[in-house]
Structure 1
Amino acid sequence: MNIHSSAQVRPAPKTIKRYSAIAIILHWATALLVISMIPMGWWMVRAISKPGTQQLAYQLFQAHKSIGFAILVLTLLRIVWRLAHPVPALPAGMKGWERILARATHVAFYGLLLAIPLTGWVYISAGWAIGTDRPLLVATSWFGLFTIPDLPGLEGLRALAFGVMGAHAYMAYGGAVLICLHMAAALKHHVIDRDGVLAQMLPFLRGKEHEGQHAPPGKVLLPHSAGLALVLLVGLVGGWLHLPGPHAEPTPAATETAARAAVPVPAATTAMPAIGGNATAWTVDKAASGITFSGSHAGKPFSGRFDEWTGDIRFDPADLAGSKAVIVIDTVSAKTGDATQESSLKNGEWLNTARFPEARFETKSFRSLGGDRYEAAGSLTIKKVTVPITLPFTYKMQGDKAAVEGNVKLERAALDLGMFSDPAAEWVSKIIEVKIAVTATKQ
């Protein structure tokens, strides 16, 4: 009896001709996004300080952040897919050093595609602009669809911002070099070696089939992890070496009000009690009324509105002494059409809607200016700041309905809006104009 006749024969490893469709899609989607980031990043960091290109650079920064998060997610998906699926073999004729270099390059790519977006995330969470060496926190809205939160506990850490941005820049340059080497190697395999390696990732090319498979992912990733850590360490050290001279770290109060480069509008927390007054009471027609605001941001005009507000209005031209009005605005409802601005409005030194979700305007007195023109003297409360303001307006009656239109210009400095990060109005205009248009019916 042949003792080997009953032994099981181990099947030969399956030969993988090319990458799967999922792997190919993930590869090229990531590649296109990464390549788009290189000229974008190079241009915008130079253009952001020039008035003529500041607005476009600001918009590119927001796109840059969104693309970075997309690359991070795609890379995580690629790693999961790579660990679960075999990949095509390297050509049998490749030298040992070529195999090591090919595998190291792939691992370096994965590491950089994780580390570069993550250092960018840390940088924006620290909220310190290294170009101006000032606090500057801008909310991150992923392509205007939803807000990506900052990493907790990093706000106002200046040294960290300089360090991670140094790492971010060095690794971006390193990634650009790797892309060039990767493309050169792919062309060498296709044009000189003619071994079909490029065809494994390009479905329309026909290439040779190779036996064997790559080493298991763990065996490839672990030997090069120390090298990836070294790349990150070099970037961090380089960033800190370029850290400017002594600069006072922000106090807790300053950290709380770290800048949000967005459009400022008032906010306050106050309930609206019964206001008294003997004049005629009015019911506001919300569909025909509105409160809007406008100014300039990064050299470009902007406008916005509040979707939610309430008004208790008692007004009679014949009884100005008995007239009274209180307007309470839900600042969370501010809309500008720019998702990044809308997210930033809720934070920090601008609105801080979590602590001060309402703005309140309360009149003290009215006086006639002649004809249909009047003005209301009162106070505006934003967060913890209350300032006196005078609101000129027109009042026109049509039957039992009245149409009121008015506007007032607010100074950011007086209201302590954005003065920690943008006191010179380099980003947001010093004056914000607020307009009201109210249609109301006598009760």
Structure 2
Amino acid sequence: MHAPSSNRYTAVAILLHWAIAGLILFMIWLGWNMEDNEARFQLHKSIGIAILFLSVARVMWRWLNPPPPLPDDMTAWEKRLSHAVHIGFYALMIGLPLLGWLLVSTSKFQVSTVLFGTVSWPHLPFTEGMRGGVVHEIVEFLHSKGAWVLIVLLGLHVAGAIKHEVAAEQGVFKRMIPGLFGRAHAPGPARGYVTAFGAALLLFAIIAAVPLMKSAPPAPAGPGATGAVPAETGNWEIDPATSEIAFSGTYQNKPFSGTFERWDANVLFDPEDLEGSAVEVKVYPATARTGTKLYDDTLQGGEWFDTNTFQSVKVSLLNFAASPDGGYTAEASLLVKDTAVNVPFDFSLIIEGDSATFEGTATLSRKALNLGQQSDPGADWVADEVTVTVKGTATRKE
């Protein structure tokens, strides 16, 4: 039985090594197999950010817990090459995710980033003027070629480890895979758990908090509550508990749907006086909810509803007329950001005493409303037509 001939890495260093290695290998495959696949693109970004912060923790852990010295049987040039490969690895493990982050931030297609479908991740600041320009092209080149450099370094790293395991007396595998390729001396007491992981987690939390600190539209009292629209002019009170404004469409030929959680409405309607009837609605697009956080974040972006600049969408219903089928039609005038359009709105209305039940639909064009026209002007991803459905109940005011 041979005594251990070298020291192994700490358990944390070993765990970080293999976790990052596994993620890198998966990222290499994912980078070559994510074209026109939004889910894989989001996963690529999510794993990239995970590698970034795991690498930050690993660098700090390495600083607080220096690795064991290289085996004595390595020559001077082999040690220099090993150190150079490790430096290159650390530079790329941090540099490539940062380049990817900058690549997304400078793209003319401003696609939101939601880490693992849960955490909204901001674009890098001060990149608005770089979008779609030469900086983006340079970053794209560096990110792409950097991946190939990483593959070369990975090959050198594996080849060197195998060479020293097969040809050298001491070997290196047991330092990073204890027990499988022989025994190595246990490392000294580890230190810096809180410092290494706490710093990485704190940095992550600060950046992740940026989207939460963006200005949000003022919260109205709730759905159906009249605020900016004078309530005294309406003769119907919409019940927010049983009413909704919903929307639906297709994304990559798959249906999606959602609702606006907050809106204000003032209804003045009389079947006997259609000419004097009018409805005014303010919809708060920052409250759009689809059940998919990526969609919710994207809808708030600058090329969509731009909720940091425009807090509401204004809708007016005028020119009411009775339909042959017993329902009604109206002209819906919408003001979305700086774009105004008029579309027909068909609805049914049943009045029983002082209670009313209504349901109506309108078909809107993203192109006409200038929504998502920078990244998807040809409706290759999101269909141009979006259906808006309004339904609910109302009570006549006294």
Residue in 1 that maps onto 2:390: 436
Name the TM-score, length of structure 1 as normaliser: 0.75
Residue in 2 that maps onto 1:140: 113
Residue in 2 that maps onto 1:237: none
Task: Tell me the CA shift for residue 76 of structure 1.
Answer: 0.6
Task: Tell me the CA shift for residue 109 of structure 1.
Answer: 0.4
3-state SS in 1 of match to 2:146: helix
Q: Is the 8 A contact 1:410 1:434 kept in 2?
A: yes
3-state SS in 2 of match to 1:91: coil
1:378 and 2:368 are equivalent in the alignment: no
3-state SS in 2 of match to 1:347: coil
Residue in 2 that maps onto 1:176: 151
Which residue identity does 2:55 align to in structure 1? Answer: T
Task: Tell me the CA shift for residue 298 of structure 1.
Answer: 3.0
User: Within 2, Cα distance between the matches of 1:147 and 1:169?
Assistant: 25
User: Within 2, Cα distance between the matches of 1:72 and 1:209?
Assistant: 30
User: Within 2, Cα distance between the matches of 1:204 and 1:360?
Assistant: 68
User: Within 1, Cα distance between the matches of 2:270 and 2:177?
Assistant: 77
Which residue identity does 1:151 align to in structure 2? Answer: L
Residue in 1 that maps onto 2:134: 159
Q: Is the 8 A contact 1:89 1:212 kept in 2?
A: no
1:193 and 2:168 are equivalent in the alignment: yes
Task: Tell me the CA shift for residue 16 of structure 1.
Answer: 7.3
Task: Tell me the CA shift for residue 140 of structure 1.
Answer: 1.2
Residue in 2 that maps onto 1:83: 63
Find the partner of 2:268 among 314, 321, 341.
314
1:68 and 2:68 are equivalent in the alignment: no
3-state SS in 1 of match to 2:32: helix
Task: Tell me the CA shift for residue 377 of structure 1.
Answer: 1.7
Task: Tell me the CA shift for residue 123 of structure 1.
Answer: 0.8
3-state SS in 2 of match to 1:293: strand
Task: Tell me the CA shift for residue 273 of structure 1.
Answer: 2.5
Residue in 1 that maps onto 2:15: 25
Name the TM-score, length of structure 2 as normaliser: 0.83
Q: Is the 8 A contact 2:73 2:168 kept in 1?
A: no
User: Within 2, Cα distance between the matches of 1:153 and 1:212?
Assistant: 45
Residue in 1 that maps onto 2:228: 272
User: Within 2, Cα distance between the matches of 1:82 and 1:99?
Assistant: 18
Residue in 2 that maps onto 1:207: 182
3-state SS in 2 of match to 1:408: strand
Q: Is the 8 A contact 1:372 1:396 kept in 2?
A: no
| Alignment CA distance shift 1:212-1:442 (3 Å) | closer
User: Within 2, Cα distance between the matches of 1:283 and 1:78?
Assistant: 60
Find the partner of 2:280 among 326, 334, 339.
326
Q: Is the 8 A contact 2:16 2:58 kept in 1?
A: yes
Structure 2 alignment gaps of length 5 or more:
189-225
- Aligned residues, how many? 354
Alignment of 1:36-75 (within 5 A): 36-44=26-34, 47-48=35-36, 57-75=37-55
Alignment of 1:282-431 (within 5 A): 282-370=236-324, 372-398=326-352, 400-431=354-385
Which residue identity does 1:195 align to in structure 2? Answer: Q
Task: Tell me the CA shift for residue 208 of structure 1.
Answer: 4.9
Cα deviation code 1:359-409 (max 9, x no counterpart): 111122311114541112231110111212221001123564322111111
User: Within 1, Cα distance between the matches of 2:169 and 2:259?
Assistant: 62
User: Within 2, Cα distance between the matches of 1:85 and 1:208?
Assistant: 20
Residue in 2 that maps onto 1:94: 74
1:117 and 2:97 are equivalent in the alignment: yes
Which residue identity does 2:138 align to in structure 1? Answer: G
Q: Is the 8 A contact 2:6 2:175 kept in 1?
A: no
Task: Tell me the CA shift for residue 103 of structure 1.
Answer: 1.1
Residue in 2 that maps onto 1:54: none
Task: Tell me the CA shift for residue 204 of structure 1.
Answer: 3.7
Cα deviation code 1:146-182 (max 9, x no counterpart): 2221112222251111101100011101111222222
| Alignment CA distance shift 1:204-1:283 (3 Å) | farther
Q: Is the 8 A contact 1:16 1:87 kept in 2?
A: no
Residue in 1 that maps onto 2:195: none
Residue in 2 that maps onto 1:105: 85
Which residue identity does 1:281 align to in structure 2? Answer: N
Task: Tell me the CA shift for residue 357 of structure 1.
Answer: 1.2
User: Within 1, Cα distance between the matches of 2:29 and 2:155?
Assistant: 14
User: Within 2, Cα distance between the matches of 1:392 and 1:316?
Assistant: 16
Cα deviation code 1:310-369 (max 9, x no counterpart): 221222323323322111111101112222222121121211101101011112231111
Q: Is the 8 A contact 1:285 1:441 kept in 2?
A: yes
Which residue identity does 2:40 align to in structure 1? Answer: L
Cα deviation code 1:19-43 (max 9, x no counterpart): 1121112111111111111111112
3-state SS in 1 of match to 2:111: coil
User: Within 2, Cα distance between the matches of 1:145 and 1:341?
Assistant: 12
